[in-house]
Amino acid sequence: MKPSRPRRWIAAVATAAACACVAAMAMAQGVPATGAQAQAEPAAAPVAVRYLDLRRPEPIHGDAAAGKAKSEVCAACHGVTGTATTAIFPNLAGQRAEYLYWELVEYKRGAQPESPMTPLATGLSEQDMRDLAAYYASQQRQPAAQDPQATVDPTLAEAGRRLFLNGDPDKGIAPCQGCHGPEALGYPLAAQADGAHLSPYALYPALRGQQSTYLQSRLNAFQQGTLLDSTNDMIMHGVAQRLDAQTIESLAAWLSSLPP
């Protein structure tokens, strides 16, 4: 099936949605103005940043062997090599180290106080988080652990596929592939650093073969605004507000059905 809009529209809508959301939330939270805005407006007094600005993160390096040795507790939920033991926990194998590291930082900051990850992350050192991120990033993706009683509704999954690839212009929903790639493996240029040796696209996670239950709970958290600790969270909050229960379920059904 051909996309309902040209590829340029897909890229433009995804970029515009991300930029507009981050800009609006950043201004509301007190991030200093930049570029033309800084020239047009008087300088404001510094404001303490209450969230993580992840628009241009540095590449993350860690010791994968050390991370494996530190991952014993993690294996209870995420499996020995990063494939979750049940569908409520995310697969970590094959995610980019940058994404995994900053997720741990958010938990350590207490962004999700009710999560079992919060007390576990609190005791991690900076090097621990880098090593764990490097270890799971080095592992090969495996099929998601699905409920043996569950079956994927092909009609629902097809709706999720169309939404992921094409979006829904009538509802203002940008195609998910604009950030997560056409194969749902993350942004295609995520590994490329910019001129300042930063990685602006490294924090868009791979979603292919992810656990369905986890995907739904994560999208619900973004939609409800219970997860707003970083600029990436703010982007997803803006996106998820335009989704309903059926579109969330359809996206999760299609993504979790894909081979890793």
What's the pLDDT at 76?
Answer: 96
What's the pLDDT at 146?
Answer: 66
* CB-based contacts of 4-7 (< 8 A; 24+ apart in sequence): 4/166, 4/169, 5/166, 5/167, 5/169
- 79 in a domain, yes or no? yes
Q: Are residue 127 and residue 197 in the same domain, yes or no? A: no
Residue ending a domain, choose from 87, 105, 137:
137
Q: Based on the structure, what is the number of domains in the chain?
A: 2
Residue ending a domain, choose from 93, 108, 137:
137
**189: domain CATH number?**
1.10.760.10
Q: Are residue 111 and residue 183 in the same domain, yes or no? A: no
- 17 in a domain, yes or no? no
Q: Are residue 207 and residue 127 in the same domain, yes or no? A: no
Q: Are residue 119 and residue 189 in the same domain, yes or no? A: no
Q: Are residue 168 and residue 252 in the same domain, yes or no? A: yes
Q: Are residue 128 and residue 191 in the same domain, yes or no? A: no
> Residue 73 corresponds to which tokens in the numbers above?
């507790």
- 130 in a domain, yes or no? yes
Residue ending a domain, choose from 73, 104, 137:
137
What's the pLDDT at 169?
Answer: 95
What's the pLDDT at 47?
Answer: 42
Q: Are residue 119 and residue 159 in the same domain, yes or no? A: no
What's the pLDDT at 48?
Answer: 47
Compute the distance between CA of residue 207 and CA of residue 175 in angstroms, rounded to an integer.
14
What's the pLDDT at 245?
Answer: 96
Q: Are residue 164 and residue 115 in the same domain, yes or no? A: no
Q: Which residues of 119-158 are buried (b: 16+ CB within 10 A; e: fewer)?
A: eebeebeeebbbbbbbbbbbbebbebbbeeeeeeeeebbe
- 48 in a domain, yes or no? no
Q: Are residue 158 and residue 129 in the same domain, yes or no? A: no
What's the pLDDT at 34?
Answer: 35
The reply to whether 117 sits in an annotated binding site is yes
Q: Are residue 161 and residue 247 in the same domain, yes or no? A: yes
The reply to whether 21 sits in an annotated binding site is no
- 5 in a domain, yes or no? no
The reply to whether 180 sits in an annotated binding site is yes
Compute the distance between CA of residue 66 and CA of residue 64 in angstroms, rounded to an integer.
5
- 58 in a domain, yes or no? no
pLDDT in tens, the chain (260 residues): 444 444 444 444 444 444 444 443 443 344 433 333 333 444 444 444 589 999 999 999 999 999 999 999 999 999 999 999 999 999 999 999 999 999 999 999 999 999 999 999 999 999 999 999 999 999 999 987 766 556 789 999 999 999 999 999 999 999 999 999 999 999 999 988 888 999 889 999 999 999 999 999 999 999 999 999 999 999 999 999 999 999 999 999 999 999 98
Q: Are residue 124 and residue 213 in the same domain, yes or no? A: no
Q: Are residue 161 and residue 68 in the same domain, yes or no? A: no
User: What range defines the domain where residue 103 resides?
Assistant: 64-137
Compute the distance between CA of residue 59 and CA of residue 236 in angstroms, rounded to an integer.
22
- 143 in a domain, yes or no? no
Q: What is the pTM of this model?
A: 0.81
- 57 in a domain, yes or no? no
